[in-house]
Each structure stands twice: as C-alpha cells, then as structure tokens.
Amino acid sequence: MSVLVSLSSLVVAAAATAASRGTPSYPFQVGERFEYSARFGMLKLGEASMQVASLDTVRGQQTFLFRFTLDGGNFIFKINNTLESWTTVGDFKSLRFRNDNNENGKSRLREYDIYPDSGFYRQRGKEGTQPTPAQPLDDASLVYFVRASQLEVGKTYRYDKYFMSEKNPLLVRVLKKEKMDLPDGTSADCLVLNPVIDERGMFSDRAEARLWVTDDPRRIPVQIRTRQDFGTITLRLEKISLAPGA
C-alpha cells in the first residue's frame, strides 16, 4: 500500500509541477499499463505489454519512461523484445531509446542517446554522430505521440520527427472508424491508423501496420497488427490498469 501511495503522490506532484509550467496534458499518466495477447495468425504467440513505467530524469530534464514488451513464440519462431523510451514531459522529445531484441536465440541490443537541441544522436558502441530533428520520436514514444494527437478520418499526417532523420517522414494515415470490444465488456468506436516509418520493422510500409485507438479522450490502444516476413502478428488488448487516481 505504501508503494501505491508513494506512486500516487509522485503522479500528483508531477501533475502540479506540469500545470505550473504550462505543460500540456496527455491522455496517459505514470502507472498506466495495457496487457495484450499476441497471436501469430490463429495461433497464440505469447503476451505483450505497454506502460508508462515511471518518471525519470535525463540530462537534467524530466522524462516519461515508456516501456513496450513482447514475449512469446512457438515451435517455429521465438521472440523476446523490450523497447524503452525516455521522452521529455514538457515538450515530448525523445532523449534516449533502447531496443533489446532476441529472435530465435539471436540477441541484438541497440541503445541511442539523442540530443535534439544539438541536432544529433549517437548509438552506443559506435563512433560518430548522426543528425536528428528538433523534436525527435522513437519507436516506443511514437504510439504515445499518436495518442496525444488530434486526428481525423481520411487524412494523412506527415511528421519529420523520427529520431533517425534519414528515415523520415513519419506518416500516420487515418483510414476509418471501427467498433471494438474492450476487456471490461463494453465497446468503443476506434480510429484505425496506418503508421509508417521507413521500409523495415514493425511500422514499415510493407508491414501494413494497423493501430486501433479509441476515438475518445482516453485514446486507448486496443489492437496492433503488423505483417512480417514470417506471418502476421496481432496484439489484442486483454487487461487495462489505469494510473493511480486516474
């Protein structure tokens, strides 16, 4: 109970600080967690989660720590993937991004330090720097940015915000509305989005990714679907844990 009280106090304090500084409000708070079933075609692959894990500080700036996990597999394919993003609370800029991925026993860890005010990012373990835009996003913060954006059916939004400048633009196509069932037995109208980054990965153009978010102030990600070389992965919302006091 003391942990929950402390976390709740932290959220309230952060909200008060944000309000005093004119920080924009968001449809998510620290402590929010969504849990998903992961399916490979018709077969259950495993579980996934998406959460606003905590508040942190990076180079003196207050940040959200966003965390996305996917853990599953079958006799054909196994995957364990964790994405973490440190994104500023005040102006929503990615300052640090971590991608820890293991597919079929092959591990790959990529960590990036992003310096938007200086216009570059650096991958840890590699020499040199690469250009980044003034308000960069990464693969994990992208979903939260979309949740906080005003979107209209039939429109395509173009952003030069992905932290690897050479992979811009980031496109968000708002395809249609579709009613979806929620874990509590209710249903909600959802915007069906097609986010596109570059030509590889979960949100590549060829992946034909779809993201269903509720068309209400909560902007809950109800389902994510992406097509990969080995088949289609669908993440379907199974459990909602709201932030304390939300």
pLDDT at 232: 80
In a domain, 114, yes or no: yes
In a domain, 8, yes or no: no
In a domain, 64, yes or no: yes
In a domain, 146, yes or no: yes
Q: What is the mean pLDDT of residues 145-158?
A: 96
Following DSSP, what letter does each residue of 173-205 receive, concatenated? EEEEEEEEE-TTS-EEEEEEEEEE-SSSSTT-G
Residue 25 contacts residue 14 (beta carbons within 8 Å): no
Q: Domain of 121?
A: 27-241
Percent of the chain with pLDDT over 70: 83
Q: What is the pLDDT of residues 227-246, one digit of tens each?
A: 766 668 899 999 999 888 76
Q: What is the pLDDT of residues 89-130, one digit of tens each?
A: 999 999 999 999 887 778 889 999 999 999 999 999 999 999
Q: Please give the tally of structural domains in the chain.
A: 1
Query: Tokens 């293991």 belong to which residue?
Result: 102
3-state secondary structure of 136: coil
* Average pLDDT value over all residues in the chain: 86
In a domain, 19, yes or no: no
In a domain, 40, yes or no: yes
Q: What is the pLDDT of residues 56-82, one digit of tens each?
A: 999 999 999 999 999 876 666 677 889
In a domain, 14, yes or no: no
In a domain, 18, yes or no: no
Residue 135 contacts residue 123 (beta carbons within 8 Å): no
3-state secondary structure of 233: strand
Q: How far apart are CA 137 and CA 139, in angstroms?
A: 7
